[in-house]
Amino acid sequence: MLDLVNLLIFLIFSLPLILGILMVLCKACYSKWVFGIEIGFIIAGLLGLGLLGEQKVVSSLSFMGEPITFSISTTPLLLYLGTLLALSALVWRHSRVDEALLPRYQFVLLNLSLSFGFIAFISGQFMIRFIALEIVGLLAALTVLSAFADSLSYKRFVFIFQLLRLGDLSILTSILLINQHAHTLDISQMIKAAIDLPVNVRTWILLGFLFALLIKLAVWPFGHWLQRIRETTVGVHFWISGFLMPSLGYYLLYRIIPILTSDILFQNFTLFLGLVLIILILLANILRLVKFDRFTQMSGIYGCFLLGAVAFGASQYLAYYILGLILYRLVLFLQAEAPSLMSKSVVTLMPIAINGFFIWVNFNHYPMAFMAGWVLLTGLTAYWNVRMTAQKFSKTREISPTRKFHTSNDISEGLILKSAQWLYQKLEIDIFSNGFSQLGDFFNRIAAWLNTNIEQGFERLWSWSGQKLMAISEVTFLTFEVDAAEKTGALVDDALSSLDIYEQNILKRSLRLDLVWIPLLLVVILAFLFVV
């Protein structure tokens, strides 16, 4: 039985991977029929895995000295199935309007994300899951690249990739902090170990995960990456960023519920965060501060609802609630892309139905105040959803990071408008929209300053030291070598010339023969002394 599980896992992972590689090498493999069959096979494989029951598969491979494990359970399979259904719907919709379906490059990205998305869902080892998440993030960012000559699309890619990577780094921080104490990479054991950690460490872990989740779910103010992809991609490949990435985010949130609920403070914080973000998104929407399209906005809002839902622990039917959110994304997308296919009422009523279902099945699980708030916020979002439908607030509202401020006519003049204007300019444009670019510019300025003042300062210091050393050396050389040599030379010359003069003086004098008597006398004296 286990062999069959292994085989299915291997096939579901490797089939899209191999097809992706083949599509690069062989044009014949690049066909929407091949892709359709592939998705069908993966769905069948997932159903097969689901039928074989929940189990932990330990593979023969290892990573960092630990075996690579796969955790086959209902929730990840269900969520992946949900995203695959969304993909099937996108393929079906696009095959009706466009024969080519996708450029080959995008097809390859899609196939690779199918492989790594699957691994990210079922991996039982946190680091393998993280690796798969990072690869999916890269693939999502790569979907905006169009051609080598298109610098603008590359800039978009850089922005998206950097933001997603920031999220991944914060997940890595949390993983490493847990791993430090758990001494294992097994997700279940790590989560269990995390619950017993000191509260300060747990706070870091929670913050790391939550920060990453806000980015992955594209919740305001981190929704700009999704909005930029939305502005450029309309095809099937939007599935990676619009469906797969958030689903992986949802599942990550699902897995860390024990950490979230390990302390009442964390629960309150998560709930508060979800609540505040929903209110802020709604307010921003009401005041027209945010110019995200409906897909990005509503996805963000329901991501926050999920934060609220998990704040009290894993309740019944949470997996189905998440599945509902994934399908709601599909409805939103289809409504924006092909309004004829999706009725406005479905878009309006579906979130009410999903939230209503969730609160109904968990009636006894949550506090009354929470349920009241849940209903109220669901009503509010539904109201604004209706408004947006009426205003045809769709993806035609394109934004640019350099856009200028403008006000809408339907907001009354006064304090609220001024506040809105101020908020819009300061928060939305200056900080959230242009902020990241400005942060980049800021780093560039710091880099330029460092380069001019420190790095070239080193150069100047080096040149200065070199010049000083040369000067010292020159002075030393002149003083102790050249001057000394000159002086010595002069002295020697003087001595020699004095000697010459002396000799010449001596030679000029006439020979005094009388002095010859002195040595003779000395000889006589010596002879005398010897005899005596």
Partner 1 sequence: MKSYEILLPGITVLPIIGVVVLLIWRKATKKQAATIGILCEAFALIIPIILLAALRREGSILFTLPWIPNMQISFSLELSWLSLIFLLTEVLVTLTAMIYSLGETTGEKYSNYYYALLLLFSLGMSGTTLADDVFLFYIFWELMLIASVLLILIWGHGEIRFKVALKYFIVTHLGSLMVLVSLITLYVNFGTASLSALILQASTLPVNMQVFLILFFIIGFSVKMAIFPLHIWLPDAHTVAPMPVTIILAAAMLSMGTYGILRFPFALFPLESIQPFALWMMLAGLISEVYGALIALAEKDIKRIIAYSSVSQMGYILFGLGTLTARGMQGSILHVVYHAIVKALLFMVVGIVISMTGERDIRKISGLGSKFPILCVCAAIGVLGISGMPPLGIFNSEWLIFGGGFDSGVSIVLTVMTLIGSLLTVVYALRFFGLIFIGEPKPEALPVKTTRALIIPTVAVAVFLIVEGLAPAPLMSWAIRGLTSIFGSFQ
Pick one of 90, 110, 138, 290: the residue that binds partner 1 (CB under 8 A).
Answer: 138
* Closest C-alpha among 269, 260, 163, 165 to residue 206: 260
Pick one of 55, 74, 180, 343: the residue that binds partner 1 (CB under 8 A).
Answer: 180
Task: Evaluate whether 120 touches 133 at the Cβ level (below 8 Å).
Answer: yes
Cα 479 from chain centroid? 63
Residue span binding partner 1 (CB under 8 A) among the ranges 174-182, 274-282, 403-411, 483-491: 174-182
Shortest spacing between CB 183 and partner 1, in angstroms: 10
Residue span binding partner 1 (CB under 8 A) among the ranges 143-151, 243-251, 333-341, 484-492: 143-151
* Closest C-alpha among 87, 89, 83 to residue 107: 87
Binding of partner 1 by 464 (CB under 8 A): no
Nearer to partner 1 (CB atom), residue 138 or residue 318: 138
Binding of partner 1 by 127 (CB under 8 A): yes
Nearer to partner 1 (CB atom), residue 446 or residue 501: 446
Sequence-distant contacts of 36-45: CB under 8 A, at least 24 apart: 36/91, 38/111, 38/114, 39/84, 39/87, 39/88, 39/91, 41/11, 41/15, 42/12, 42/15, 42/16, 42/84, 42/114, 42/118, 43/81, 43/84, 43/85, 43/88, 45/8, 45/11, 45/12
Instruction: Tell me how far apart the alpha carbons of residues 223 and 233 are, in angstroms, rounded to a whole number.
Output: 15
Binding of partner 1 by 149 (CB under 8 A): yes
Task: Evaluate whether 6 touches 57 at the Cβ level (below 8 Å).
Answer: yes
Binding of partner 1 by 198 (CB under 8 A): no
Which residues lie across from 71 on neighbouring strands?
Answer: 56
Cα–Cα separations (whole angstroms), residue 502 to 365, 461, 487, 511: 126, 58, 22, 16
Nearer to partner 1 (CB atom), residue 407 or residue 465: 465
**Which tokens belong to 530?**
């010897």
107 exposed, middle or buried (CB, 10 Å; 0-12, 13-18, 19+)? buried
Pick one of 353, 446, 491, 524: the residue that binds partner 1 (CB under 8 A).
Answer: 446
Pick one of 234, 447, 470, 478: the residue that binds partner 1 (CB under 8 A).
Answer: 447
Instruction: Tell me how far apart the alpha carbons of residues 363 and 366 are, in angstroms, rounded to a whole number.
Output: 6
Shortest spacing between CB 67 and partner 1, in angstroms: 12
Shortest spacing between CB 250 and partner 1, in angstroms: 22
The pair phi, psi for residue 409, each rounded to 5°, is -80, -20
Pick one of 177, 193, 352, 375: the residue that binds partner 1 (CB under 8 A).
Answer: 177
Nearer to partner 1 (CB atom), residue 440 or residue 489: 440
Binding of partner 1 by 451 (CB under 8 A): yes
CA angle 122, 56, 213 (to 5 degrees): 30
Binding of partner 1 by 474 (CB under 8 A): no
Residue span binding partner 1 (CB under 8 A) among the ranges 349-357, 415-423, 445-453, 480-488: 445-453
CA quadruple 153, 156, 157, 162: dihedral, nearest 10 = 160
Binding of partner 1 by 320 (CB under 8 A): no
Nearer to partner 1 (CB atom), residue 135 or residue 371: 135
Nearer to partner 1 (CB atom), residue 444 or residue 479: 444
Binding of partner 1 by 58 (CB under 8 A): no
Nearer to partner 1 (CB atom), residue 61 or residue 520: 61
DSSP letters spanning 412-446: PSSHHHHHHHHHIIIIIIIIIISHHHHHHHHHHHH
Binding of partner 1 by 467 (CB under 8 A): no
Binding of partner 1 by 158 (CB under 8 A): yes
Binding stretches for partner 1 (CB under 8 A) = 62, 64-65, 127, 130-131, 134-135, 138, 147-151, 154-155, 158, 161-162, 165-166, 169, 172-173, 176-177, 179-180, 201, 204, 440, 443-444, 446-448, 450-451, 454-455, 458-459, 462
